[in-house]
Each structure stands twice: as C-alpha cells, then as structure tokens.
Amino acid sequence: MSLEVALPIIIPFLAGSLSLVFYRAPLVQRWLGVAGTGALLLASIVLLYRTYTDPDQVLSIAMGGWPAPYGIVLVSDLLGAIMTVLAGIMGFATAVYSLPTISRDHEAFGYYPLMHLLLAGVCGAFLTGDVFNLYVWVEVLLVASFALLILGGERAQMEGAIKYVALNLLSSILLLVAVGLTYGMTGTLNMADLVGRFAAMENQGLVTVVAMLFMVSFGIKAAAFPLFFWLPAAYHTPPVAVSALFAGLLTKVGVYALFRFFSLLFTQDVGYTHEILLWGAGFTMITGVLGAAAQYEFRRILSFHIVSQIGYMIMGLALFSPLALVGGVFYIMHHIIVKANLFLVSGVVYFLRGSYELKHIGGLWRTHPWLGLLFLIPALSLAGVPPLSGFFGKYIIIRAGVEQESWGIVAVALVVGLLTLYSMIKIWAEAFWKAQPEEHEERARAFEAAVSGKRLTLMVLPIGALAAITVFIGLGAQPIYELAYAAAEQMRDPQIYVNAVLGDTQ
Amino acid sequence: MTAMGSLILRTATRLLLPLLLLFSLFVLLRGHDEPGGGFIAGLVGATGFALYLFAFDAERTRSLMGVDPRLLLGLGLFAATVSGLPGTLLGHAFYTSLWWTPTLPLLGEVKLSTPLLFDIGVYLVVLGSVMTIVLALAGAEEKAEETTWNR
C-alpha cells in the first residue's frame, strides 16, 4: 500500500471540504488552514523520504487498482516529490501568514477552501503520471486561482484577472489540443507508456509538432517569453498571502511540466526543441528584469522578477546537460522559497506603511531593522550573492553554460543577475534606507499604529522560517545539491521512470 | 424573478418540484450500471429548485432548501474524497471500490458500495454549486430591481 503518494492530494481536499462545511465559523477555517497545510507538509516530507530511500527512487500507485497504462497512476519520482515538499512548505507558510492578514470579508468569500483546492491542484499536477490527468489538475488549480485572484473584487483585480484568465484559457485550450493529438497518435496518455510509443513513431516530425504545442501551452503557464504579461498584470492585485502563494507555486507548475515533458517525453529532437527553449529562456530573463527596472511598486517589481527568474530555470532545462538539470532543479527549490518570502515581506511593509508604492514609503531601517534584515536575506539571495541559496543555483547553471560554451546565454544570465541586484537595491534604498516622505507620513503612522504586536509576530514567523531555509540551502548546499543531482539523474534516464511505473506489464 | 410570476407556473412548480427531486434520486441510484449517476442527478435536482426560484423568489427557495447550498458543496466534496479511503484500509490502492450487499427486510438485496458514496458526493457537489450560483445571481438581480423601484 503506498497511500503516501496520494496523501498530498487527499489532505487538501479533506481540509478544503471541511472548511466549506464550516463556512460560518471562520475560527474553525483558520485552524483547518494551519492544520491541513501542516499535515500536507508532513505528508510531503514523508513522501520525499520514502521516494529517496526507495530502491528505484520512484513510487507509483494505480488509482482504484486499475493497472497502468489503462488506469490513472500517481507517480512520485524525485522531481515530483521535491516539488510536493515545496508546495507543502509554501502552503504552511501562507496559511500561518493568512491568520493576521486575511480580512473577514475574504474569509466569508471562501478564502480557505479555495486555498486548499489550489494546493490540491498543485500537488496533483506534481504527482500525476497521466497527461490528461495533468490537464485536469492544472484546471483545478486554475479555477481556484481565478477565484482567489478576484477575492475582494477591486477594480485593479478585475483588470488583472481578465488578462490572467484570457491567457490561461488560451494555454489550457492548447494543452487540451496537444493532449488530444497525443492520444490520437499513440492511443495512450500514460506518461511512462508514451515514452516508448513516441520513440516508435514513424513520423518523428509529428512528435515535434505536439512537443511544440505542449511547449507553448506550458510556456504561457510558466510565464515565459513572449506570453508572460498576464503575470505582472495580475500578481500585485490580490491579498498578499495569495500573491505569495501564486508567486511560489503557480508558474512553477508550468516550469515543472516543461521539465517533466522535455526530459521524459520529448527528447527525440533536442537540437530543435531545446534550442527554442534556450532562446525563450534568454528573452524571458531579459524582458523580466528590464520590466522590473522600470517599476516603482513593490509587488510589481517582484512580479517582473518572477518572469526573469523563470528564465534561469528554463535555461537549466534547455542546456540539458546533467549539470544544467541539477542547476535547474536547485534553482526551482531556491526560487520558490525566496520569491514567496519577498512577497510576504512586501505585505509586512504594507501593514507598516500603508502603501506598496516605493515613492510613498521609507524609513523602515530606522524603525524596524529586523525587517530590513529579513528583506535582505531573500533579496540578496535572489540576486545571487554568496553564500545564500541563489548564488549556488546561478553558479551551477552558469557553469553548465560555460561547459557547453553557450557564451550568449551565459552573458545574458550574468547581466540579468546584476540587474536583479540593481532592482533589489532600489527597493532597499527606497523602502528601508531613505527617510519616510513627509506628505505620506500621516498615513504611514496610522497604519503602523493599527498593527498590534501579536499580528506582526504572526506575519514575521513564516518570513523568518523561510529566510532560515534560504540560509540553510546556501550554507548547507551539499545535501540539497545531492538531492537535485539524484533528481537530474532520473531525468536523464527516462527508463527508470518507465520501469517503475509499468513494471512487469511491459 | 418578479412577484407577479404566472399562476400556471407557480401551480405547476408545486407539482413538479417533488417529482423532479424524486426523479433525481432515481437517476442517482440507478447510475452505476445504467445511464445516470451523481452528476446528471444533481443537475436534475438543481433544475427543480431553479424552477421554484423562477416561480417564486430567492428568499423562499432558500428557506425551502433548508440548508445553505455551500454546506451541500462541502459535504459532497468530503463524501467523495472519503469514499476513496475504505479501500486503503484493506490494503488496496486509493479509490479501489468495495461492494457490500446486505439483505434488508422489505427492500430485499441492497447494493451498497464506495462508488455509491462517491456518486452521492458528486450529487451534493453539483446540486450545491449550481444552487450557489443561481441563488447568488437571483439575489443580485432582486437587489438591483429593488433599488430601481425605490428610485
């Protein structure tokens, strides 16, 4: 019995449905939020441990006892398990952060059930071994994210949501078309089964066509160039806990799917598909970081930086050497923690100063030096300053680029790293270093006075924990590197995955 | 959703609603081996309440239903999720279906199973979500009408 593979999906569903049942009791919902995501975190850690210690390092269960490739399988290989743990960490951190920051109105509109549903969709996407099932999970998380995005119904939210919904629906349609074509060509949708079927196809050109459809679809979801603009239009509008959850997990589902599909299924024509990915990665990095340089709103800067960071991960996939894949996986782990943490910090800044506009705030270093420190850890890590986690992520990927003599992308990655540092220093100088602008002083005072110490403590707890993880990934990079290395090894050899899922039925 | 809904519609609705609800239960229970099931049954049930809503108003439909549709949604989701667990207790994979056919007095042999629990969950989810949407829309419309009248 390997219930542990299904638990990260079951737990959020149970917690979510129970919080719907208790829709009139916000207190119960809050505790369910913390307890449910805590249980999810534990279950995901157990799953990663079991997967890592498994002889194949791949766990797979056939839902309902219908064997693969006919039934739907849940598969936990190292990549999937690592992503699930990250989802667990993010879920738990935002659930705690939600306690003091989510208003009663948002709770009444079903914030907690939607949060659990989103987590269920994310974990489902990470763990499924079936292409159509992946589509379904992506839809589950999208539906939840649509609702979370417009929670509160402000004008800016609606504007962002329209772009978000329109582009993501386009991406879903492309995904569905690609799934349909895949089924028509091969007669199966089980990922492990597809590996052999695609290899046996006579017309490899068709396989590449389908690969491109998947690439565009997941590229939109990952906010890669050129269809990334839904992200900076939407991410700065919802409550901060939602922003952080989105920033940590949503685009990463797209990135994960790209990693899964372009290491497991579509490696027939690496020279073509991965070359396109590499160009996409370069443009994604540049446009993201340049977009951020022009912004002066805290969360918009961070949103554009998500886009540019996605470029690094895709670069790791596109170079497709063992080292590059290690770097890609390492970078995802580092990025989810750091980026979500920055959003959480931006929320604290808002509660202390009453604005996300950098022009309207300042003086935080003087009044709250500890917050400055908590900002600097993820910010410098994002920019890649040693010895924090971002340094190792960037170092591994760039080293892989140098080894393959892809000088163009290496140069882009280095310059983008520098510009990231510029953006982070801009936030530092504006929000923390300079004095509070006088014309907005009154508002800032009022906001600061309204925040009780207890609320602030609850907000800072998850930030501190995530910052500690960042430092840990940086200082103790070796075990994390080894984990990423093992995950990359699996990606290099699809046969491990295939054997573990199909087993004796081959 | 006017207060002046037609007399024929109202009288017919009073007769149709119980029929529709009974029919929805029938479709739900015959669904495993024959056409039917939780989804379509939930839609049929929701049709009954929606008809009542058209004939009368949102307030009366709500009190007729007795429970908030969101509660149905939550219970349904919970039931559908939980229906996967009994199999795992016996060492099977998640969502493995289990069957239990006790013989009851009067009813004879009754087929109970985890898929039935799942279907009931789906039924409640569909009924709950459709009614949540319809009631929210009707409520908004009624509010808008009131404000225009008061002007």
Q: What is the pLDDT of residue B5?
A: 66
pLDDT tens, A172-227? 999 999 999 999 999 999 999 999 899 888 888 899 999 999 999 999 999 998 88
Q: Which of B80, B68, B86, B64 is nearest to B123 (CA)?
A: B80
A421 C-beta neighbours (distance < 10 Å), count: 16
Tens of pLDDT, residue by residue over A80-94, are 999 999 999 999 999
Task: Provide CB contacts within 8 A for B36, sequence distance 6+.
Answer: B26, B27, B28, B29, B30
Q: Is the pLDDT of residue B133 over 70?
A: yes
Q: Tell me the average pLDDT across B57-77.
A: 89
Cβ-nearest to B81 among A17, A64, A110:
A17
Residue B150 has pLDDT above 70, yes or no: no
What distance in Å separates residue A18's CA from the closest CA in chain B?
6
| Predicted-complex ipTM score | 0.85
Q: What are the φ/ψ torsions at residue B104 (nearest 5 degrees)?
A: -105, 150
Query: Distance between CA atoms of B143 and B151, rounded to whole angstroms?
Result: 13
Contact A1 B70 (CB under 8 A): no
Beta-carbon separation of A64 and B96 below 8 A: yes
Chain A residue numbers with beta carbons less than 8 Å from the beta carbon of B76 are 17
- Cβ distance of B74 and A62 shorter than 8 Å: no
pTM of the model: 0.92
What is the average pLDDT across A424-432?
A: 91
What single DSSP character describes residue A67? P
Q: How far apart are CA A465 and CA A471, in angstroms?
A: 10
> Are A23 and B71 within 8 A, CB to CB?
yes
Query: Above 80 in pLDDT, residue A505?
Result: no
Measuring CA to CA, which residue among A503, A502, A504, A497 is closest to residue A79?
Answer: A497
- Tell me whether residues B78 and A62 touch, CB distance under 8 A: no
Which of A328, A309, A318, A476 lies closest to A383 in space, CA to CA?
A309
Q: How far is B90 from chain A (nearest CA, A)?
A: 9
Q: Encoding tokens for residue B98? A: 């289990």
List chain A residues with CB under 8 Å of B96: 64-65
Query: In this complex, do B93 and A64 lie within 8 Å of one another by their Cβ atoms?
Result: yes
Of all residues in chain B, the one with the smallest CA distance to A12 is B81
Positive or negative: CA dihedral A29, A127, A124, B95: negative
**Mean pLDDT, rounded, for A285-309:** 92
**Close Cβ partners of A9 (under 8 Å, ≥ 6 residues apart):** A74, A120, A123, A124, A127
**How far off is chain A from B51, nearest CA to CA, in Å?**
26
Say how many CB pairs under 8 Å bridge A and B. Answer: 59
Cα–Cα distance, A37 to A102 (Å, whole number): 16
Contact indicator for A246, A147 with CB cutoff of 8 Å: no
Which one is predicted more confidently, A268 or A429?
A429
B2 pLDDT above the threshold of 80? no
Contact A63 B93 (CB under 8 A): yes
Task: Tell me which DSSP letter residue A119 carries.
Answer: H
User: Are B42 and B122 in contact, with CB atoms under 8 Å apart?
Assistant: yes
User: C-alpha angle A143/A145/A148, rounded to 5°?
Assistant: 115
Cβ separation A21–B95 shorter than 8 A? no
Cβ proximity of A197 and A187 under 8 Å:
yes
- CB contact under 8 Å between A21 and B71, yes or no, is yes
CA dihedral defined by B79, B82, B87, B89, rounded to 10 degrees? -140
Q: At a CB cut-off of 8 Å and minimum separation 6, what does A78 contact?
A: A48, A51, A52, A57, A58, A483, A486, A487, A490
pLDDT tier at B147, thresholds 50, 70, 90 = low
Q: What confidence score (pLDDT) does residue A506 get? A: 46
Interface contact flag, B82 A6, Cβ < 8 Å: no
**CA nearest to A225, candidates A280, A272, A306, A291:** A280
pLDDT higher than threshold 80 for residue A135: yes
Is there a contact between A448 and A286 (Cβ–Cβ < 8 Å)? Answer: no
Chain position carrying tokens 């679809």: A217
Pairing between strand B108-109 and B103-104? antiparallel
Query: Tell me: the pLDDT tens digits for A391-409?
Result: 999 999 999 999 999 999 9
Chain A residues with a Cβ under 8 Å from any Cβ in chain B: 1, 3, 6, 10, 13-14, 16-23, 61-65, 110, 113
Residues of B with CB under 8 A from a CB of A: 68, 70-71, 73-78, 81-82, 84-85, 87-88, 91-97
Measure the CA dihedral A449/A455/A461/A462, to 10°: -110
Which residue in this structure is represented by tokens 């049709």?
A: B47
Q: What is the mean pLDDT of chain A?
A: 91
Task: Sketch the domain layout of chain B as residue ranges.
Answer: 7-150
As a whole number of angstroms, the distance between CA A308 and CA A288 comes to: 4
Mean pLDDT of A38-44: 96
CB contact under 8 A, B74 and A21: yes
Please say if the pLDDT value at position A504 is more than 60: no
Contact predicate B121/A17, CB 8 Å: no
List CB contacts (< 8 A) between B88 and chain A: 1, 3
Using one digit for the tens of pLDDT, what is the confidence trace for A103-131? Answer: 888 888 889 999 999 999 999 999 999 99
CB B26, CB B40: distance < 8 Å: no
Residue A462 has pLDDT above 50, yes or no: yes
Whole-number Å distance between alpha carbons of A297 and A122: 28
Residues in chain B: 151
Per-residue pLDDT tens over the stretch A322-365: 999 999 999 999 999 999 999 999 999 999 988 898 888 888 88
Cα A337 to its chain centre, rounded Å, is 9
Q: How many Cα atoms within 13 Å fall on the side-chain side of residue B122?
A: 21
Average pLDDT value for residue range B2-9: 71
| pLDDT score of B1 more than 50 | no
Domain coordinates of chain A in residue numbers? 281-475
Compute the nearest-CA separation of B106 from chain A (Å).
33
CA distance A172 to chain B (A): 23
Residue A356 phi, psi (nearest 5): -100, -10
The angle formed by the CA atoms of residues A372, A97 and A310, to the nearest 5 degrees, is: 70
Q: How far apart are CA A212 and CA A191, in angstroms?
A: 17
CA dihedral sign of residues B74, B75, B80, B81: positive
Q: How confident is the model at residue A488 (pLDDT cuts 50, 70, 90)?
A: very high
> How many Cα atoms sit within 13 Å of A457 on the Cβ side?
3
- Of A2, A19, A21, which to mutate for an interface test with B (greatest number of B Cβ within 10 Å)? A21
- Produce one character per residue of A186-224: b if its CB has 16 or more CB atoms within 10 Å, e if not: bebbbbbbbbbbbeeeeeeeebbebbbbbbbbbbbbbbb
Residue of chain B nearest A2, judged by CA positions: B93
CB spacing of A65 vs B92 below 8 angstroms: yes
| Residue B97 Cα, gap to closest chain A Cα (Å) | 7
Closest C-alpha among A252, A153, A265, A251 to residue A213: A265
* Average pLDDT, integer, range B67-89: 90
Query: How far does the CA of residue B110 sit from the closest CA of chain A (Å)?
Result: 23
Chain A residues with beta carbon closer than 8 angstroms to that of B95: 63-64
- Provide the pLDDT confidence category of residue A18 given band limits of 50, 70 and 90: very high
8-state DSSP, A190 = B
Cα of A234 to nearest chain B Cα, Å: 25
